[in-house]
Amino acid sequence: MRDLSLHLMDLVQNSITAGAALIKVSVFQKDDGLLGFMIEDDGCGMDEETREKALSPFGTSRTTRKVGLGIPLTREHALITGGSFDLESKKGQGTSLQAVFNTRHIDCQPLGNLGETLLTLILANPDTPDFVMTLSSEGAQESLDTRQIKEVLGEVPINDPAVVTWLMENINEMLNQTLGGVEK
Amino acid sequence: MKSISELEQIRKATLERINLRREDKENEVRVVVGMATCGIAAGARPVMMAFMTEANRRGLSQVTVSQTGCIGMCRYEPMADVYLPGQEKVTYVNLDEEKVRRIVLDHIVNGRPVAEFTIASAQNEINRGNKK
């Protein structure tokens, strides 16, 4: 993983695999250089044993291979900057995780193309799950709710070209308003 | 947030086109991109975006792009399967945006799979000792 936006994308895939109907993704930036993301889902959740396993590179729910690197990699990249990583889960209720990075640390990866991550997540999952995406910095907050968008669209799919253009502009605007034009 | 009323406009303008697409179900072309940790780390996100933007740019409304997890061949990521109606699925490996543009043009538009980007071709290379 070369940047934080890819980590975010990767971890949201876990929520999708967990059968979530609604995934809340938020990215926040603090004036002191901390940048973090939170993912909350209402998927199948994990018991304590599974949660422990998820943090280890040698634990995975998959049967095609023996390693599961998504969570351990993100955790490592957060901790290495002096940040934090929290994973909470209740079986049958859902999972939430938060990764915080100290962007002023020399080993902190760049944020990357966050807009493309958010857009790809929506477009690759046109039916379920729904997403609430929130971007915030101190003094600004913008969010987008795919349930609201789908309600307006009716039978028009959210990945229709015309809607994609609207989404792309919308997400870029959100980024510019909050994280300050990290997107090119 | 851009205005919701703008979205309403889009809906009206798009509805007619949508109905046409629905009747065209048997001509549907499916592209499935591997989006697990291995795929994403290898660059699957721009590959997926490239399939979408290229299909949109060419007005190929019969193309749907979706995602799948890891199928256990991480060394070939980014990978994508292309399903054309009435044809066997073609698995492409080690993709990038440039290759995607060729696949959309040669395979999806013109119906000729790009043999050199397929998994069969990658495996033959290895068998011949040209380690990739």
Q: What is the mean pLDDT of each run of 10 residues along chain B (132 residues)?
A: 79 78 77 93 94 91 88 91 94 97 96 95 81 52
Tell me the pLDDT band of A184, cut-offs 50, 70 and 90: very low
Please give, rounded to a whole number of angstroms, the shortest distance from the CA of B26 to a CA of chain A: 18
Domain regions of chain B by residue span:
25-127
* 3-state secondary structure at position A137: strand
So what CATH class is B25-127?
alpha beta
DSSP state of B26: G
Which of A120, A144, A161 minimises the CB distance to B45? A120
- Interface size A-B, in CB pairs within 8 Å, comes to 98
CA distances from A113 to A109, A171, A179, B50, B70 (A): 12, 11, 12, 14, 22
Domains of chain A: 4-178 (3.30.565)
CB contact under 8 A, B37 and A154: no
Structure tokens of A135? 């971007």
- pLDDT tens per residue across span A127-180: 989 999 999 999 899 999 999 999 999 888 898 888 988 999 999 999 998 987
